[in-house]
Structure 1
Amino acid sequence: MCGAPVQGQNLPAGVDAEKETVITGKVVGASGDAIGGAYVRLLDSTGEFTAEVVASGSGDFRFFAAPGDWTVRALSASGNGQSTVSPQGAGVHEVTITVGA
């Protein structure tokens, strides 16, 4: 079992989205239904593993990262998928990952 924390869309108290770079999103299946329990990995611009979380029951996930180019990859029993995101500064940056498509 992975020790990655389960995620949700609400930011924790005390997080200032104007000062933090937050990558958040949802894991969905080909039909658009949420995929909970997927392992979501954050990879840097060279493809190196940086972090991993477990998507919530509603498919939500969240990472705190630096500005730059990132790949967000989801691994689940329903399939795998990935998306890229390139936040250039602080704020909440959303991405959807479709798996099994």
Structure 2
Amino acid sequence: MCGAPPQTPALPAHVDLNKETVIYGTVSKDDAPVAGAYVRLLDGTGEFTAEVVTSATGDFRFFAAPGQWTLSVLHRDGSVRQDVEANEPGLVPAVLVLS
């Protein structure tokens, strides 16, 4: 087990986490980061809101309003879907593992 503290995303200097919600995380499979996965952000009704592609280290982030969200990941090596609750401004972590 790694003793390193949890990591948070690097954010632009102008981001005020007292006013903004950032949903962020990593996509992995078999304990390895997955680059090039499509991560979709769906609103509380399941409607498409945004999409990003994971970085070389499997990282992604969305700036979103507080509320109920769903993350849906698509990649040639698998997919995953996870509900996320962002109750207030700040950082909202998500760890997505492809199956």
Normalising by structure 1, report the TM-score. 0.86
Does 2:65 match 1:71?
A: no
Cα deviation 1:42-85 (Å, max 9, x = unaligned) = 00111100000011010000001111110001111111112111
* 1:17 partnered with 2:17: yes
Percent of pairs identical after alignment?
A: 51
Q: Which structure's CA Rg is the greater one?
A: 2
User: How many aligned positions are there?
Assistant: 91
Q: Work out the CA distance in 1 between the residues paired with 2:95 and 2:89.
A: 19
How is 1:1-101 mapped onto 2 (pairs within 5 angstroms)? 9-29=9-29, 31-99=30-98, 101=99
> Any idea what the Cα deviations from partners look like across 1:10-52, whole Å, max 9, x if unmatched?
11121111210110010011x2211011011000111100000
Contact 1:83 1:96 in 2 (8 A): no
More strand by share: 2
Post-superposition, which runs of at least 4 consecutive aligned residues in structure 1 deviate over 3 A? none
Structure 1 unaligned spans of 5+: 1-8
In 2: Cα distance, 1:74 partner to 1:14 partner: 28
SS in 2 for 1:16: coil
Q: Which whole-Å CA distance do the structure 1 matches of 2:34 and 2:50 have between them?
A: 19
The answer for unaligned runs of 5 or more in structure 2 is 1-8
Q: TM-score, normalised by structure 2?
A: 0.88
